[in-house]
Each structure stands twice: as structure tokens, then as C-alpha cells.
Amino acid sequence: MTWTEADTAARIAVPDAFADKHRRGVLGAITGSERYPGAAVLGVEAAHRTGVGMVRLIAPRRVEDLVLARRPEAVTGEGRVEAWLIGSGQDARLRTATLTATLEAALGSGAPIVIDAGALDLAADAAGAAVVTPHHGELVRMLRQAGIETDTEAVRHSPGHWARTAAEACGVVVLLKGAETIVAAVDGTLIAVPPATHWLATAGSGDVLAGILGALVATHAGEVHADPSRLAELAASAAVVHGLAAERASGGGPIAALDVAEALPATIAALLER
Ligand SMILES: NC(=O)C1=CN([C@@H]2O[C@H](COP(=O)(O)OP(=O)(O)OC[C@H]3O[C@@H](n4cnc5c(N)ncnc54)[C@H](O)[C@@H]3O)[C@@H](O)[C@H]2O)[C@@H](O)CC1
Ligand SMILES: Nc1ncnc2c1ncn2[C@@H]1O[C@H](COP(=O)(O)OP(=O)(O)O)[C@@H](O)[C@H]1O
């Protein structure tokens, strides 16, 4: 199955007269680190520009300061959230015990969760519906952790096969990034995403994708609770929005990751007008 723009437009939660920032959905983001603070900036920016009630960021002070300088809308510290985004801009090898405990609390909360980059090794601890967003190298690491041996060349050759293998082995939705983006549902169903501009192969564009997906999950958290299979559809929708925003930002030329995030509102408006 190939996910279309019409499928994607149907997964955008448009606020109505009864909307308020809490009802629309609050995304909790545990992202960024001293080493990669920018990833948190990119993810929070992308989440706001995709449309979400609120973003609560839990991060070191320097990360908070940088995010707030760009997005004063973000709220820092703990509080009620409908969904989580964790791991972007983190390195599992450098993780402190405090950060591990914070991530484990989010994973154990039962709220739907988007697991990226430096939290992928904790995916098995998710108590609720979970979607992981690895690139090829990260997928190989996840599979190894599950006792399945492969390499990036094999994943590049058969991305659908390896995404499905990881989804079934780990019990999570897998959004496998790369020149070709594929989503594997927990039951092994594959959803193909139309190819995006290759200008997307630039640092931080994956952090933007994670923020888009976080916002889509936070604004559909009730539906995901009722039917966890919805998560794969939201993952495919995030990838389509990401690709369209990249196309719009690029116009045929180079892009920086933040350009993709900035193009999100016009991209979503165009999708809804279809
Ligand atoms: N501005 C920022 O703060 C940025 C932070 N980032 C963060 O940097 C951390 C490390 O991420 P990386 O992916 O760089 O490092 P990783 O340690 O995950 O992997 C990089 C290694 O994996 C290999 N690899 C194999 N297949 C790959 C593929 N398809 N794409 C990319 N690398 C592949 C590369 O050769 C490289 O040696 C993550 O937490 C990420 O979120 C990056 O997103 C870049 C931008
Ligand atoms: N050759 C390519 N063509 C199109 N999109 C690509 C290509 N390579 C990577 N991408 C996309 O760019 C993003 C890169 O994400 P990721 O590898 O996590 O990078 P980063 O960690 O720097 O954010 C993903 O959305 C991926 O699908």
C-alpha cells in the first residue's frame, strides 16, 4: 500500500470551536542533550508548526534555553501530556542515570510514544503504543539487540523486509528512514511513502520528522489508545508531510532542516485545501 496525500490530509486534526490547548493534545518531548541541543530545537519547532496544543520539554538547562529562544511557546518541565517524543539529539552511550529514569518513566506511562535516535535501545520498555524512527544504521543496531544479524547494505537492498522484521521482533511500529521511507506496522503490514527530494539528506531533517510525528500522535492520542494500529497511519502521514514540506522548502535547491520545519504550515494548508 502506498500512502497518499488524501490519506495524509485525513490524518490532520483541525481545531474547531471547542478546541483549546489541552484538548488538542500536549506533546511531551524528552529530546536534546549538551552534545546535540539543536535536535531538540528542530523537533519542538516542527511539532509546533505541524499543529499541537502544547509542547512540554524536559531537557538540560542549556537545551531549554536554546529551544525557548527559538520557540517561547514551549513549556518546560513535567506536567500532563497525551503523547511522548523521546531520543532525538541523544546518544545512548552518553546517557546519564537521571536521563534513563526520565525516559523510562515516559516509556512506562502507557501514553503513545515516538522513539528516535538515542532512545531506540529502550523501545522494548514501551508500555503503550510505540513507533520508532531509525535510519538504516540504527535499524541494524535495533535488530542486533533483538538477536537478529544484518547490515546496512542488506537494509538498503530490502528496506521493507528489514523494517517488517524489526516491527514483528520488537512489537513496535517501525518508520524506516532513508531515500525510500517505509512504515511497518506491528502486524507486518507495510506502508510505502512516495519518494522525497534527495536534498533531505541533510543533518537534522530526521529530528524535524520526529517532531512532525510527535505532533500528529499527540493530536490523535485518544484514537491511538482506542486502536493502536492507527499509529502506523500517523507515521506514514508524518513522512508524507515531511516530504512535501521539503519539496516546498527546496524548490529544487538545497535545504537546511529548519527550512523544512518552517515550510510546514503552508504545506499543511495546501494538503487541507485539496
Ligand atoms: N543539530 C543537531 O543537534 C543534530 C543532532 N543529531 C543527533 O545526532 C545523534 C547521532 O545521530 P547520527 O545518525 O549522526 O549518529 P549514529 O551514531 O546514529 O550513526 C551514525 C553512524 O551510522 C552510520 N549510518 C549507517 N546508515 C546510516 C544512515 N542511513 N544514515 C545515517 N547514518 C548511517 C553512519 O555511517 C555513521 O557512522 C542523534 O541523537 C541525532 O538526533 C543529528 O540529527 C544531526 C543534527
Ligand atoms: N537520499 C535521500 N533522499 C531522500 N530523503 C532522504 C535521503 N537520505 C535521508 N533522507 C531523509 O532525511 C532524513 C534523515 O534523517 P536522519 O538519518 O535521522 O538524519 P538526522 O539524524 O541528521 O536528522 C530522513 O527523513 C530520511 O528519510
Query: Where is 131: in which H helix or E strand?
Result: strand 130-132
pLDDT at 274: 85
pLDDT at 204: 98
Query: Where is 62: in which H helix or E strand?
Result: helix 61-70
- Domain positions in the chain are 5-177+185-273
Please tell me if the CB atom of residue 136 comes closer than 6 angstroms to any atom of ligand 2.
no
CB contact at 8 A, 255 and 229:
no
Query: Please, what are the averages of pLDDT over each run of 10 residues along the chain (274 residues)?
Result: 97 96 97 98 98 98 98 96 98 97 98 98 98 98 98 98 98 97 97 97 98 98 96 98 98 98 98 94
pLDDT at 239: 98
pLDDT at 147: 98
Cα separation of 42 and 256, whole Å?
A: 11
Q: What is the DSSP letter of 200?
A: G
Which protein residue has the closest C-alpha to ligand 1 atom 11?
117
Q: Which three cell numbers stand for residue 180?
A: 525510500
pLDDT at 126: 98
| ipTM value | 0.96
Q: For the domain made up of 5-177+185-273, give the CATH fold.
A: UDP-N-acetylmuramoyl-L-alanine:D-glutamate ligase (3.40.1190)
Which residue of 44, 115, 135, 182 sits with most ligand 1 atoms within 8 Å of its CB, as the best mutation to test the pocket? 135
Which protein residue has the closest C-alpha to ligand 2 atom 17?
135
Q: Which residue has the cell 506533546?
A: 27
Which ligand 1 atom lies nearest to the CA of residue 135?
Answer: 29
State the pTM of this model.
Answer: 0.98
Please tell me if the CB atom of residue 39 comes closer than 6 angstroms to any atom of ligand 1.
yes
Left, alpha or beta for 147 (phi > 0: left; psi -120 to 50: alpha)?
left
Task: Calculate how far, in angstroms, residue 268's C-alpha sits from the geometric centre of ligand 1.
Answer: 27
For residue 156, the Cα-to-chain-centroid distance in whole angstroms is 21
Task: Calculate how far, in angstroms, residue 117's C-alpha sits from the geometric centre of ligand 1.
Answer: 8
